[in-house]
Amino acid sequence: MSLLCIAIFGDVIMSAKNVLLGGSIILVIILMGGLIVTATFIWYRSSNNDSITGQVTAQRISEEQARTIALNAVKGTIKKIELEQEKGRYIYEVEVDKDGTEFEVSIDSVAGKVIDIEKEIKEENSEVEALTQSSGSTISEDEAIRIAEDRLGSSFDLEEIDTGSYRGIKAWELEFESGSEEAEVIIDMETGEILNIEYEEEDDDDED
């Protein structure tokens, strides 16, 4: 009888050991799987996201593509190109020299669209001097519209035109729309030169 009890007790101990061993193996497998998933996630984040902001960077256009887009907008020579963060998004700022005049072309680094084209005005022309020199408008309203439409293309429709001052220079201010996209064009009243073009996507919230 004693031998039988010892045998039964031994079987119970072995069964308990087997259960514990099996449980330990399962626990190890679960932990290893968790570590593998975590490591994979970290690798994916580090390879596709900006290390500082966490923004996805894989879809950005290249610097070479930004150069091509800028030169299509302003025919000239690129002097400098930089990638900058502005209002939560990254923008390529491209400086283009055209016949001695510098333009700054801003390009959305993800969409690859021109956001803004700005002509640099010489600092020696103060606001008072510029307004004094502009004694009258040599560029008519119709001419200003034609200049703007030639630059924007036929898909944009004129919404509004007004006069104003841009960095001390008397200018025509024209607003255009094309679907959900808006464009503001500033034209020098004296020379007919485009001083600035700013593109903007119309928010759906504004329509509600």
Residue 54 in domain: no
Residue 16 in domain: yes
pLDDT at 3 over 70: no
- In the chain, what percentage of residues exceed pLDDT 70? 61
Mean pLDDT, residues 16-24 taken together: 54
Nearest to 195 by CA among 118, 95, 106, 116: 118
Q: Same domain for 113 and 166?
A: yes
Q: Same domain for 69 and 140?
A: yes
Q: Same domain for 67 and 38?
A: no
Q: Same domain for 31 and 3?
A: yes
Q: 47-65, pLDDT tens digit by residue?
A: 445 544 444 454 899 999 9
Q: What span, in angstroms and rounded, lies between the C-alpha atoms of 172 and 184?
A: 10
The domain that holds 82 is classified in CATH as 3.10.450.40
Would you state the structure tokens that stand for residue 5, as one six-digit string?
């009890």
Q: Same domain for 14 and 69?
A: no
Q: Same domain for 40 and 117?
A: no
Q: Same domain for 13 and 84?
A: no
Q: Cβ contacts of residue 83 below 8 Å, gap of 6+?
A: 63, 90, 91, 92, 93, 109
Q: Same domain for 128 and 183?
A: yes
Which range in 7-16, 21-30, 44-53, 166-175 is most confidently predicted, on average pLDDT?
166-175
When comparing pLDDT for 6 and 104, which is higher? 104
Q: Same domain for 23 and 74?
A: no
Q: Same domain for 115 and 39?
A: no
When comparing pLDDT for 96 and 202, which is higher? 96
Q: Same domain for 184 and 82?
A: yes
Query: Residue 85 corresponds to which amino acid?
Result: Q
For residues 15-43, one letter each, b for 16 or more C-beta atoms within 10 angstroms of the residue's C-beta and e for the rest, the string is: eeeeeeeeeeeeeeeeeeeeeeeeeeeee
Q: What span, in angstroms and rounded, lies between the C-alpha atoms of 38 and 32?
A: 10
Residue 53 in domain: no
Q: Cβ contacts of residue 129 below 8 Å, gap of 6+?
A: 168
What one-character-per-residue DSSP string does 103-114 give?
EEEEEETTT--E
Residue 55 in domain: no
| Inter-residue contact 129 to 159 (CB < 8 Å) | no
Q: What span, in angstroms and rounded, lies between the C-alpha atoms of 174 and 158?
A: 7
Domain count, the chain: 2
Domain that holds residue 177: 63-207
Confidence grade of residue 137 (pLDDT, cut at 50, 70, 90): low
Residue 191 in domain: yes
Query: Residue 207 corresponds to which amino acid?
Result: E
Would you state the structure tokens that stand for residue 101, as one six-digit string?
């005049």
Q: What span, in angstroms and rounded, lies between the C-alpha atoms of 76 and 54?
A: 35
How much is the pLDDT for 98? 87
pLDDT at 46 over 70: no
Mean pLDDT, residues 144-160 taken together: 92
Mean pLDDT, residues 110-124 taken together: 79
Would you state the structure tokens that stand for residue 60, as one six-digit string?
């950005």
Residue 58 in domain: no
How many CB atoms within 10 Å of residue 74?
23
Residue 111 in domain: yes
Total residue count of the chain as it appears in this document: 208
Q: Same domain for 6 and 74?
A: no
